Structure 1
Amino acid sequence: MEKAKVFFTDFHTKAFGDGLPTKLKKLIKKAGIGQIDMEGKFAAIKMHFGELGNVSYLRPNYAKAVADVVRELGGKPFLTDCNTMYPGKRKNALEHLECAWENGFTPLTVGCPVLIGDGLKGTDDVEVPVAGGEYVKAAKIGRAVMDADVFISLTHFKGHEMTGFGGAIKNIGMGCGSRAGKMEQHCSGTANIDEAKCKGCRSCLKECANGALEFDLESKKTRVVAETCVGCGRCLGSCNFDAISFALDSANELLNRRMAEYTKAVVDGRPCFHISLVVDVSPNCDCHGENDVPILPNLGMFASFDPLALDQACVDACMKAKPLPGSQLAKNMAKPGFVDHHDHFRNSRPECEWRSCLDQAEKIGLGTREYELIVVK
């Protein structure tokens, strides 16, 4: 496979000149987004709206810049993300939209509608075959994401406590999975029901296709039949009371490989374009209700048709950067007995692992790790 082209621009601007949103528009046009036939097409712009309390997520200004370009090309853009698996402010579409609005993502600020990709309860998904998948044969992807004619990822590239970093592949693979899809990537176990939280509403029984849930008439609670539970996660999305959970017991490597395969399900068979901004590189995911100081400086904006090459280019740039003083990374490196992994993300979170994700992505043909970096002034 020949080298992919990854386009790059830094965050420098001239006084009284164009701002960063305009610079982002220039970058993605130079990178070739105009080659995609957008005329009259629905274009999903997948991004993370940030958990309430977190302020390191991408500003809505960047989303509007991308939406504006899609509109210029005749497309019909919408911002989207899917509901979270864990309890929080984004586990159903109503709270998710309120969170997005509070964090500044409204049709007025971003210039296009904001839709939650897997519906009200996170159960509106489509099973999408994974070509060449070893760990996932059919990924559970939010229906609105798959209904789009064109797919664009807009990623905040930052650290992550499990996957090392959150780049384009994580934004797509994990982010586009429905609640059941996220569970499938994270877990290998069966459902657990907290009887103290269970209200006996029986809504979960309607979602289970395997006879793995039963209602106990005496206790008025639902229980799991472990022998028939396949861990599909359907019940999780149906519970409004956070009574159902799954142990997050998959090793990081297995999580990473599943995530790469979910990404392939999303992008196969339609025009795609990918953008990553290495800015406010917090040590943890934007799913946290807080953010720590950045571990690395703001490095720039990257764009490519190849999500794997894009992640590789971003991680390479991060590895060349110097840790920021006072950050979690710098403090770890100053500890007595520090073991240098020669990897900023592992030095920040020694328990994390990211290489298996890129290895699996390359193995299944998602893209290439070989790239040519083209600088846009």
Structure 2
Amino acid sequence: MEKSKVYFADLHVTMKENLQQKLNRLLKTAGIGQIDFAKKYAAIKIHFGEPGNLAYLRPNFAKTVVDLVKDLGGNPFLTDCNTLYVGGRKNALEHLDSAYLNGFSPFSTGCHVLIGDGLKGTDEVSVPVKGGEYVQEAKIGHAIMDADILISLNHFKGHELTGFGGALKNIGMGCGSRAGKMEMHSSGKPRVSEKLCIGCAMCTKICAHSAITVTERKASIDHSKCVGCGRCIGTCPTNAILAAWDESNDILNKKMAEYAWAVLHERPHFHISLVIDVSPFCDCHAENDVPIVPNVGMFASFDPIALDVACADAVNRQPVMAGSLLEKSSHNHDDHFTNVSPNTDWRVGIDHAVKLGLGSKNYELITI
């Protein structure tokens, strides 16, 4: 099988070319111009960063991608879907506030921000997953599926459940609606925290299957009727309804790959990963820790699998950053990500994505 091409640029600059200009040159060299952007809607999937976290990508990088898409005739927008957990991005209003707070405004990036799954995380499209082992129909944010082209702009970093977060996670988990995220994270149904529940019955009104009842001002969920749509989670004013969060990490990785397949299947896509500020955990945290390795550079490819593997290989070639959680780890798995989060194996998701036909692990690294 022919190797997938992954293009790389280091972070060195000159008086004639700054980092944003170098990123522009990387994308052009990697062939992004081969995509027909003319009058097409281009979803640029990015993580806006949980408020309090400072490791997320600077909005300046997003503007570089936006400007290039516009130059190629496209209509770009930045997007992400709402979170399953409580935080600053659990509904579209708070999500937009967080995006703007972290610098992702139309004025700084040159395009609008659309939350892919709507106000409460319920605006979704069911996408059949051909050959899916765990997912038959992926629940993807409506605005993302409406786009003609998908571009992933990824902050490559560690992750406590999946080993690392790169292109596949940014697309698969990030494009899932609230119900989609619950399907990936959970093998069970949501539950109610009686301590937090105030008996307002808003959850009973949103449930289409009459699975929720309120007795003595406390809600309860009948799992024999519940379909796991997650709408009750979004509507609860006190965050009393919680996802099960009980799926194994290996199956989570496989489900995530199947969701990525649903997003990318039968439409043009392109992928960019910046291996900088490689924090040990996800940008979903309201804090970030010391990077586990020094900054590496910028990568781009049409193949999300090859891109993720190339980035992981590049990180594993780096020395350990002093004072980081990686330095403090007592594990020796010959892999930086597994050493930080020893209960993870990122290769499981990669292998499953290959099986689905999303790309190849074999790559040719081309340095510009």
Work out whether the TM-score is over 0.5. yes
Assess if the C-alpha contact under 8 Å between 2:9 and 2:26 holds in 1: yes
Q: 1:90-144: per-residue Cα shift (whole Å, max 9, x none)?
A: 1011111111111111001001001111111111111111121110011111111
Structure-2-length-normalised TM-score: 0.97
Residue in structure 1 matching 2:225, options 209, 223, 228: 228
1:53: Cα distance to partner?
A: 0.7
> Which residue of the partner structure matches residue 341 of structure 1?
333
Residues 123 and 238, structure 1, Cα contact 8 Å, conserved in 2:
no
Code of the aligned partner of 1:348 = V
When structure 1 is superposed on structure 2, of 201-210 and 268-277 the one drifting more is: 201-210
C-alpha distance in 2 between matches for 1:369 and 1:232? 34
CA distances 1:343-371 after superposition (whole Å, capped 9, x unpaired): 11111222222111001101111111111
Report the Cα offset of residue 309 of structure 1.
0.8
Say if 2:158 and 2:281, in contact at 8 Å, map to a contact too. yes
Unaligned 5+ residue runs, structure 2? none
Deviations 1:146-190 (Å, cap 9, x if unpaired)?
Answer: 011111000000011111100100000000011111111000112
User: What are the within-5 Å matches in structure 2 for residues 213-224 of structure 1?
Assistant: 213-216=212-215, 219-224=216-221
Map 1:1-377 onto structure 2 (within 5 A): 1-14=1-14, 16-216=15-215, 219-332=216-329, 338-376=330-368
Measured after TM superposition, the shift of residue 229 of structure 1 is 2.4
Residue 188 of structure 1 contacts residue 231 of structure 1 at CA under 8 Å; is this kept in 2?
no
Amino acid corresponding to residue 13 of structure 1 in structure 2: V
| Paired amino acid for 1:39 | A
Q: For the residues of structure 2 that align with 1:199 and 1:44, how far apart are their CA atoms?
A: 39
Does the 8 Å CA contact 1:163/1:352 hold for their aligned counterparts? Answer: yes
The 4+ residue runs of structure 1 with deviation greater than 4 A are none
- Give the Cα–Cα distance (whole angstroms) in 1 for the partners of residues 3 and 237 of structure 2: 47
Per-residue CA deviation, residues 174-220 of structure 1 (Å, 9 max, x unaligned), is 0001111111100011221123433444333344343322233xx24
Q: Which amino acid letter does the alignment assign opposite residue 222 of structure 1?
A: A
Structure-2 separation of matches of 1:257 and 1:248 = 15
The aligned amino acid for 1:344 is: H
Deviations 1:290-324 (A, max 9, x none): 10010011111111111111101111111111111
Q: Distance in 1 between matches of 2:321 and 2:80?
A: 31
Separation in structure 2 between the aligned mates of residue 55 and residue 339 of structure 1, nearest angstrom: 27
CA contact (8 A) 1:4 1:309 kept: yes
Instruction: Say if 2:8 and 2:300, in contact at 8 Å, map to a contact too.
Output: yes
* Separation (CA, whole Å) in 2 of partners of 1:127 and 1:205: 23
Please tell me the root mean square deviation across aligned C-alpha atoms, in Å: 1.3
Instruction: Determine if contact 1:47/1:155 at 8 Å carries over to the other structure.
Output: yes
Compare 187-196 and 66-75 and name the one that shifted more.
187-196
Deviations 1:224-271 (A, max 9, x none): 112222333232223232111022111100100000000000001111
Q: How far apart are 1:325 and its partner, in Å?
A: 1.4
Using the alignment, how far apart are the partners of 2:348 and 2:210 within structure 1? Answer: 35
SS where residue 311 of structure 1 aligns? helix
- Whether the 8 Å CA contact 1:184–1:233 is kept in 2: the answer is no
Q: For the residues of structure 2 that align with 1:121 and 1:201, how far apart are their CA atoms?
A: 18
Identity over the aligned pairs, expressed in percent? 61
* 8 A contact 1:180–1:237 mirrored in 2: no
Distance in 2 (CA, whole Å) between partners of 1:200 and 1:74 is 52
| Count of matched residue positions in the alignment of Structure 1 and Structure 2 | 368
SS in 2 for 1:277: strand
Structure-2 residue corresponding to 1:335: none
Which moves more between the two structures, 319-328 or 53-62? 319-328
Q: In structure 2, do the counterparts of structure 1 residues 206 and 126 end up closer, same or farther at CA, with 3 Å as the change threshold?
A: farther
Letter in 2 for 1:365: G
